[in-house]
Structure 1
Amino acid sequence: MSYAGDLTPSETWQALGADPAAALVDVRTSAEWTYVGLPDLTSLGREVVRIEWVSYPEGRVNDRFAEQLQDAGIAKDAAVYFLCRSGVRSIAAAEVATAAGWRRAYNVLDGFEGPHDTEHHRTVSGWKVAGLPWVQG
């Protein structure tokens, strides 16, 4: 594994609550943030950091990702948790962050919405299914 590890959404929530320096970085697209929703960290006194891994609508990988992570003010020794829709883009983001010097870069398993169920709905797992706080634009 080329990053610090994988955590469930519930484990991530607990870790964020225990460490005020930790950050949650949502790497989904602006369209997903707007139309699907975002984790809500207001009860923890902070905001989700939003940095697209893939640009919308072009679909290009964000070659400035590490630079934007730095610009967001996340210290390289802080725990940083990466979240996408289902836990795939967030692995790539954690790998790039680790290669750029963030030592505690984690992937949030199953992401915000999780995988499909048998009826092709995202009701199996993920941040929303775990009952964690979220808001919709």
Structure 2
Amino acid sequence: MPQPSSSYAGDATPQEAWEALAGDPSAALVDVRTSAEWAFVGIPDLSELSKRPVLAEWQTYPSMQVDQGFVDRVAEALQATGAGAGTPVYFLCRSGVRSQAAAAAMAAKGFTACFNVAGGFEGPLDAQRHRGASAGWKAVGLPWTQS
């Protein structure tokens, strides 16, 4: 069960996010990583759910400055899919840090069911300073694709 936060609806594991996306036709996934990460590391593949993730950089590559237009752009993209302020929205980044900030920003905008995908797409660094071995979307075997 997702854990509550003071500023967004809570954290969900990648598997919980997948199950929610599969079980609720209106639920959405927003990948807040950079365009470089999408291109070189991959993106979640939601095609078997007849969905696509919303791709919106929280921090713009290469400066890594927070995109001041993020909230409005994501709100518009979500509304285009039919999502409303109460629709469950799952935010994903590399490890779960940027997505937590993005979920909080969208909650402040009035979206009441924003969840951070804890562990992100690649998970934390392991002892060898590699990602993806123990946690995250890829590590638990959820579908993804790479260009």
Structure 1 residues 6-38: Cα deviation after superposition (integer angstroms, max 9, x where no partner): 000001000000001010000000000000000
Aligned-residue Cα RMSD (Å) equals 0.7
Could you tell me how far 1:114 is from its partner in structure 2? 0.1
- State the partner residue of 1:78: 87
Q: Aligned to 2:21, which of 16, 19, 34?
A: 16
TM-score using structure 1 length: 0.98
- State the partner residue of 1:135: 145
Could you say what secondary structure the match of 2:20 adopts? helix
> Structure 1: 5+ residue runs without aligned partners?
none
Residue identity matched to 1:114: G
User: Whole-Å Cα distance in 2 between the matches of residues 14 and 134 of structure 1?
Assistant: 15
Residue identity matched to 1:135: T
Structure 1 residues 83-117: Cα deviation after superposition (integer angstroms, max 9, x where no partner): 00000000000100000000000000000000011
Number of residue equivalences: 137
Residue identity matched to 2:12: L
Q: Which consecutive aligned stretches of 4+ in structure 1 deviate over 6 angstroms post-superposition? A: none
User: Whole-Å Cα distance in 1 between the matches of residues 75 and 93 of structure 2?
Assistant: 19
> Structure 2: 5+ residue runs without aligned partners?
1-5
TM-score using structure 2 length: 0.91
